[in-house]
Structure 1
Amino acid sequence: MVAVVVGGGVIGLLSALNLAKHCDVVLLDSTAVGTEASWAGGGIVSPLYPWRYSDAVTALAQWSQDFYPGLGAQLLETTGIDPEVHSTGLYWLDLDDEAEALAWACAAQKNLRSVDITDVQAQVPALGMGYQRAIHMPGVANVRNPRLVKALRAALLQLPNVSIKEHSPVSGFIRDGQRVVGVQTVSGAIMADQVVLAAGAWSAELLRPLGIELPVEPVKGQMILYKCADDFLPSMVLAKGRYAIPRRDGHILIGSTLEYEGFDKTPTDVALQSLKASAEELLPALADAQVVGHWAGLRPSSPEGIPFIGPLPGFDGLWLNCGHYRNGLVLAPASCQLLADLIQGRTPIIDPAPYAPEGRL
């Protein structure tokens, strides 16, 4: 069997890695693998506000959170590239819905609790003053997503039954009656038994010629990056919708904006100034630090942030794995395992019904 995966972000890469255990795989990307949303995100291995999401998102997140440490270790061993799954914990400051968060944690038996703000300041000395309340979840990790996609690409290149074709945009699907039997690219047709669409924010554009209106659209997010001492920030912190994420080498990510600007990925000075203001409010010492990076990416938004995972009705052989919105990195391991289970006819890791395209289009 041959599977074609359209899209080389973390969803496409992990889909290909899972499918390659049982079939030949061709991975296609319109640019270079892993250079869009998967590269641009922050890499928190948790939804920003897990209590605000449906059970469908939570189920994928929980499975993936348990899976990530082993995935990081396996990729380091097989490729020599460390995705740096970094367990720091996360503090939420001055939440409007703190009571709802704590009630969710109690019901879901999550280790999320209220902590005294003086304890937070002792644990995170760089934190700004003026915050009144905090809740904390220990063990929340972040992954260094640019290294994750590099490691996944390297792992795929080691496999003799996988072919990666970069700068190969797909212009259409090849059909035989009701069945999709391949894709058309700039360099010709590629035939397949199964086609997986994992093109993130561009997925709806690719489906439109089939008469399918997929409710996935791009939402721009901008981030900035600082370089500090390795021990400057021991934990992730989040306040007023903005977060700071520490990497092991002292890089600090600040994000992010939410902008409905279509497919425009241009970083703007307005966003830069807004992110710098948030950074300096959270961590005042950053006022004396230089911004060493500023970029934008496009999230694939979807209704309620629930991804589309499963077969596309009326188009046998065409599968979706897209629409992960702000949670592509945290949901990727579970989403891609679920997709592989469905394609290969195994018992799925979780109930696939909430993600099925049927009835949601």
Structure 2
Amino acid sequence: MGWVVGADVIVIGGGVIGLLSAYLLARAGERVTLVERMSVGGEASWAGGGIVSPLYPWRYSQAVTALAHWSQDYYPGLGERLLANTGIDPEVHVTGLYWLDLDDQAEALAWAQREGRPLHEVPVESAYAQVPALGEGFERAIYMPGVANVRNPRLVKALRAALQNLPNVTLLEHSPVLQFVRDDARVIGVRTAEGEMLAEQVVVAAGAWSGEVLQSLGLALPVEPVKGQMILFKCAEDFLPRMVLAGGRYAIPRRDGHILVGSTLEHAGFDKTPTGEALASLRASAETLLPALRDAQVVGHWAGLRPGSPEGIPFIGEVPGRPGLWLNCGHYRNGLVLAPASCQLLADLMLGREPIIDPAPYAPAGRLN
């Protein structure tokens, strides 16, 4: 080809999407170099809640639903394999999820029937029986059993360790990509402060920063940062046996009694500063959902940046007119939910395999400006 190739694939971005993309490609025998501008998993993958479902799955298009369903079925096995491989447990914690006093409950139930998902209306008394700490005054409940949450910081650690166990993977942290290396239209590598790295194919999986990365190629990717703030409480291990969601806010139990409450939706550019206003709002939501949290210790408050995209549909596939350049980005609020299916689909397309689902809705063609 006229250039020295150091890897089969370079993956730009070390969040869950980049890590899992690299892992699946490397497991298939590809030589992979993953390049991360900061520390692996330090952005949205660390900051999110980790519910293995869209918050309101019936409000999304079939494109998001298809990825979510595949991923939900895949997660328990992924957690077990990573634990066996690395000794790090991502804690895929199956709790089920209650939605309370939904405005669009009828649409939710119709969606569940149409999609064959186990989401049902239940007497609100059963929600109170299952979640004794629930605040007073809720009148309606729907429940989906089997919904899990994953402890995303531990998922990141497990994926990082799994990659380090593979001899055909190179992991470069604190190594921002400065520009792409091209041979005419073809993308053949990246340039960092350490120099040029060349590969047969390059994947952009840089989350909220993906649009910034692609600007040097004259590509306008409609992915923008959307800030979200969370708070973390410490409670007894049995305080919250189920996830609960009401009024746009959710509470997620971890196995050790930590309770995550989120989240805000803010358009503030790349600013990740936690604010007192958001803290007060999240605390008020937490105390409405679970009044006992009024006396619980807040042990964490942080912000992260989601990769906002039109309709929340990620970009997965090769960029038209730029052979060798692939995207796996723009997952908006559902990066952790959609990661397994998104990364499997990318690997299928890159390796010429039969794709797990129809790739057409995610193709970059016609969706870049």
Normalising by the smaller structure, the TM-score range is over 0.9
1:40 aligns with 2:47: yes
Q: What amino acid is the match of 2:172?
A: K
C-alpha root-mean-square deviation of aligned residues, in Å? Answer: 0.6
Name the counterpart of 2:358.
351
What does 1:189-268 correspond to in 2, within 5 Å? 189-268=196-275
Q: Which contiguous aligned blocks of 4+ residues in structure 1 show a shift greater than 4 angstroms? A: none
Please state whether the residue corresponding to 1:168 is helix, strand or coil.
Answer: coil
Query: Does 2:174 align with 1:167?
Result: yes
Question: 1:228 corresponds to which letter in structure 2?
Answer: C
SS in 2 for 1:62: helix
Matching residue of 2:92: 85
Q: Which residue of 2 aligns with 1:19?
A: 25
Q: Tell me, in whole angstroms, the C-alpha distance in 2 between the residues paired with 1:34 and 1:249.
A: 22
Q: Distance in 2 between matches of 1:206 and 1:242?
A: 32
Read off the aligned partner of 2:120 and give its amino acid letter: R
What's the offset of the Cα at 1:359? 1.0
Q: Which residue of 1 aligns with 2:309?
A: 302
Cα distance in structure 1, aligned partners of 2:176 and 2:231: 29
**2:2 matched to 1:5?**
no
How far 1:22 moved relative to its partner? 2.1
The secondary structure found in structure 2 opposite 1:192 is strand
CA distance in 2, matches of 1:312, 1:109: 34
**Alpha-carbon shift at residue 210 of structure 1 (Å):** 1.0
**Partner secondary structure for residue 130 of structure 1:** coil
Instruction: Report % sequence identity.
Output: 75
Question: What are structure 1's unaligned runs of at least 5 residues?
Answer: none
Equivalent of 2:342, from 320, 335, 339?
335
SS at match of 1:230: coil
Name the CA distance, whole Å, in 2 between partners of 1:358 and 1:115: 43
Post-superposition offset of 1:159: 0.5
User: 1:191 deviation in Å?
Assistant: 0.5
Deviations 1:49-89 (A, max 9, x none): 00000000000001100100000000000100000000000
- Distance in 1 (alpha carbons) for counterparts of 2:32 and 2:217: 23
Partner residue of 1:179?
186
CA distance in structure 2 between the partners assigned to 1:186 and 1:284 by the alignment:
51
2:288 is matched with 281
Match of 2:124 among 117, 123, 126: 117
AA paired with 1:16?
Answer: A
Measured after TM superposition, the shift of residue 208 of structure 1 is 1.1
2:137 aligns with one of 100, 112, 130: 130
Aligned-partner residue type, residue 15 of structure 2: G
In structure 2, give the amino acid aligned to 1:6. I
Q: In the aligned structure 2, how far is the partner of 1:157 from the partner of 1:106?
A: 43
In the alignment, the residues of structure 1 paired with residue 350 and residue 115 of structure 2 have an alpha-carbon distance, to the nearest angstrom, of 31
The separation in 2 between residues aligned to 1:118 and 1:18, in whole angstroms, is 44
CA distance in 2, matches of 1:111, 1:2: 42
Amino acid at match of 1:201: A
SS at match of 2:354: coil
Q: Secondary structure at the match of 1:193?
A: strand
* Aligned equivalents of 1:143, 1:251: Cα separation in 2: 13
Instruction: Return the TM-score normalized by structure 2.
Output: 0.97
Q: How far apart are the structure 1 equivalents of 2:29 and 2:203? A: 15
Aligned equivalents of 1:159 and 1:118: distance in 2?
Answer: 51
